[in-house]
Amino acid sequence: MNIIRKLREQRGLTQTELARLVRTSQPQINRLEGGERQLSKDWAEKLAPHLGITPVELMFGRVTDLSTIALAVSDFVENPANAAMGPRLSDGARDVPVYGQAVGGDDGEFVLNGEKLDDVFRPPSLSSVIDAYAVYVAGSSMEPRYFEGEVVYVNPIKKARRGDFVVAQIRNNERETILAYVKRFVRWNERELVLFQFNPERELIFQSRDVVSVHLAVMGGSV
């Protein structure tokens, strides 16, 4: 049995309760317990206090050999860096928040209302982009580039160019909400935003007055 699950159940906690304690989501805890996500140093430090164990013991077991203990503890001692690229992120910014909620539709639109669904690992390319975020792909309209359920990482600072993949936020007045689309960027001028999708192949055209933002998608895949 997974050590996190074992300790959680011993303390009478559900996955949802543990997720609330460490300020993450239940699916994230489920991935850690199922081995779909690696138990990193950061996760060990977050989880251990609520599981009645030290971070070292959570990662390496209850070791008794002195050399093993020394090696394990050394991983939790932060050595000063001799160089840095970009601003240093705080501990809370080491993951990227995932936003959005699928609503279906042939165009793979989803609601992007600021509700955080999950946290995912921050890739090196976004290490200095504090406002980076991610979304889950809804539907199959962008296959084979992006598949349903995959994560798309977004850099809201870099400008999109023709042919880039983007996450576009569009104000939907009928639903009184903001819908988002993962598509390929064609053009954006004072009149309209034009995006392209693969399945079925066609252009989506939105009035510029309804466009909230167009952010560059930098990478995607399963997490």
109-151: pLDDT as tens digits: 777 766 778 888 888 888 888 888 998 888 888 888 888 888 8
Note the helical H segments in the chain. 3-10, 15-21, 26-34, 41-51, 55-60, 66-74
Q: What b/e sequence results for 113-128 when a residue is b if at least 16 CB atoms lie within 10 Å of its CB, and e otherwise?
A: eeeebbbbbbeeebbe
Q: For residue 46, is pLDDT > 90?
A: no
Which pTM was predicted? Answer: 0.56
Q: For residue 23, is pLDDT > 60?
A: yes
Q: For residue 81, is pLDDT > 80?
A: no
For 70-96, what is the mean pLDDT? 51
Residue from 156, 207, 206, 217 nearest 182 by CA: 217
pLDDT (0 to 100) of residue 193? 95
| CATH class of the domain at 94-221 | mainly beta
Name the helix (H) or strand (E) containing 96: strand 95-102
| Domain chopping of the chain, boundaries | 3-74, 94-221
Q: What CA–CA distance (Å, rounded) separates 210 from 180? A: 12
Query: DSSP class of residue 88?
Result: P
**Do 3-74 and 94-221 show the same overall fold?**
no
| Residue 208 near residue 219 (C-beta atoms within 8 A) | no
Pairing of strands 202-207, 211-221: unpaired
| Residue 72 near residue 63 (C-beta atoms within 8 A) | yes
For 7-28, what is the mean pLDDT? 88
Architecture of the domain spanning 3-74 = Orthogonal Bundle (1.10)
Pairing of strands 133-136, 95-102: parallel
Tell me how far the alpha carbon of residue 110 is from its chain's centroid: 16
Q: What CA–CA distance (Å, rounded) separates 40 from 46? A: 10
